[in-house]
Structure formats: C-alpha cells, structure tokens
C-alpha cells in the first residue's frame, strides 16, 4: 500500500488514468480474506493516512474525465474499501459525481465493467441514492447487451447486485431476465461455492420480489 500511496505525494502530476490505476492497485494490495488479522488493520491504516485522503481528492478532481473502464475500476475500488476494509471514502459530493458518471458512461461499459459497477454501487448507499432513473435504465440496458459475454463471476455479481438494487432490477426487461438466467445456467458448472450461493440467493429474492 505504501508504494501506491507514495505516488500521491511523489511530485508527479497524476492524470485520470493514473488515479484510476492507483485505486485499482490499492484494493488489490490491501484486500485480504475475511478473518485475516491484517484486514481490519489495513483499513484502519488507510483511514488514518493523509495520503489516502489526498488520493480520494484526486478521484473527485478527475471524476469528470473517467471513461467507462476507469469509472468501473474506481467504483469497484471504493466499494471494496467501504464494505470490505471499512475505509469509507464516499461523501455526498463524491456520490453525486459517481452517480453522474454512471449515467454518462454506462452505455460504454463491457461485461466486467458493468458487473463490477453494479456490485460496487450495491455496496455504496450514497451512490445508490445518487444514481438517476436514467442511470439505472442505462445500466440495465448494458447488462442486457453484455449478458451473453459474462463469465461465472460476472453473472453472479450482477445477479447479486440486482437483488439489492430495486431500481436497476425494475429497469431490466423480461427478455433481459431470460438472458441472465440463461447465462447463470450456462456458467453454473464453473462457479465456485460463493458464486453459486450468491446466484441462488439473488434469484430467489428476485423471483419472490423481496430485497
């Protein structure tokens, strides 16, 4: 983590690609498995490190420049930081920026990008509240367009997120649900136990209409 955070104060001007890459690398380095004693410690370290706050300031500054790939990576990173490491970094202002980013770039996302974005938004309550109806519609359209390209991890994450995001689920068409079910069936044998559990849990909730 230290090597990544050093970039913030290293005297080199970071553009939007550098910032998105730094966020992506930060969670790859910091994220551990549940029960790992270093997991909570690293979250605490990030919260107390002024360089982390500076990195989030750079996210705010460059958010209008993020493309679909950078936006998905940043959303994913923020979701992991918030839900897995306890390093919440999204205030109301940044949430509004991220909601606008989703609306602006959802149509350009590929399968892993839309799956990661939905999964991240489902973890970030402030961003969930900030996404507009147009944003949800565009995310749903992108899910339907890219569903056949999703692997077992992406379809599991997408279904899991949709069962938590009522507005997104409501925007998926009946044909879209058929496509998603087909992808889940096709990839089931490749799923690990966690993906199977997430997919079945999500489908039960969606079928029953409860979140």
Q: Is residue 78 part of a domain?
A: yes
pLDDT at 34 over 60: no
For residue range 190-206, what is the model confidence (pLDDT) as tens digits? 999 988 988 888 877 77
Instruction: Kindly indicate the confidence band of residue 29, based on its pLDDT and cuts at 50, 70 and 90.
Output: confident
Q: Is residue 158 part of a domain?
A: no
Q: Is residue 63 part of a domain?
A: yes
Instruction: Kindly indicate the confidence band of residue 110, based on its pLDDT and cuts at 50, 70 and 90.
Output: very high
Q: Is residue 198 part of a domain?
A: no
**DSSP letter for each residue of the chain:** -HHHHHGGGSSPPP-HHHHHHHHHHHHHHH---TT-HHHHHHHHHHHH-HHHHHHHHHHHHHGGG--HHHHHHHHHHHHHHHHTS------HHHHHHHHHHHHHHGGG--HHHHHHHHHHHTT-HHHHHH--HHHHHHHHHHHHHHGGG--HHHHHHHHHHHTT-HHHHHHS-HHHHHHHHHHHHHHGGG--HHHHHHHHHHHHHHHHT--
pTM of the entire structure?
A: 0.90
The mean pLDDT value for 97-121 works out to 97
Q: Is residue 176 part of a domain?
A: no
| pLDDT > 70 fraction of the chain, expressed in percent and rounded | 92
Q: Is residue 26 part of a domain?
A: yes
Instruction: Kindly indicate the confidence band of residue 211, based on its pLDDT and cuts at 50, 70 and 90.
Output: very low
The number of domains in the chain is 1
Q: Is residue 100 part of a domain?
A: yes
Enclosing domain of residue 118? 2-149
Mean pLDDT of the chain: 91
Q: Is residue 23 part of a domain?
A: yes
């Amino acid at each position: 983590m230290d090597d990544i955070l050093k970039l913030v104060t290293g005297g080199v001007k970071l553009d939007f690609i550098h910032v998105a890459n730094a966020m992506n690398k930060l969670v790859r380095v910091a994220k551990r498995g549940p029960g790992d004693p270093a997991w909570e410690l690293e979250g605490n370290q990030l919260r107390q490190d002024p360089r982390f706050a500076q990195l989030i300031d750079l996210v705010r500054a460059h958010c209008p420049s993020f493309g679909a790939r950078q936006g998905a990576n940043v959303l994913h990173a923020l979701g992991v930081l918030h839900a897995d490491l306890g390093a919440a970094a999204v205030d109301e202002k940044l949430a509004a920026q991220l909601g606008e980013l989703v609306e602006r770039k959802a149509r350009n996302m590929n399968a892993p990008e839309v799956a990661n974005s939905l999964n991240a938004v489902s973890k970030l309550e402030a961003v969930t509240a900030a996404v507009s109806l147009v944003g949800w519609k565009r995310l749903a359209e992108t899910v339907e367009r890219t569903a056949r390209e999703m692997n077992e991890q992406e379809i599991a994450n997408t279904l899991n997120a949709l069962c938590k995001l009522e507005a997104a689920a409501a925007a998926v068409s009946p044909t879209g649900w058929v496509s998603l079910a087909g992808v889940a069936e096709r990839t089931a044998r490749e799923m690990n136990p966690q993906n199977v559990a997430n997919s079945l849990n999500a489908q039960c909730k969606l079928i029953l209409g409860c979140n």
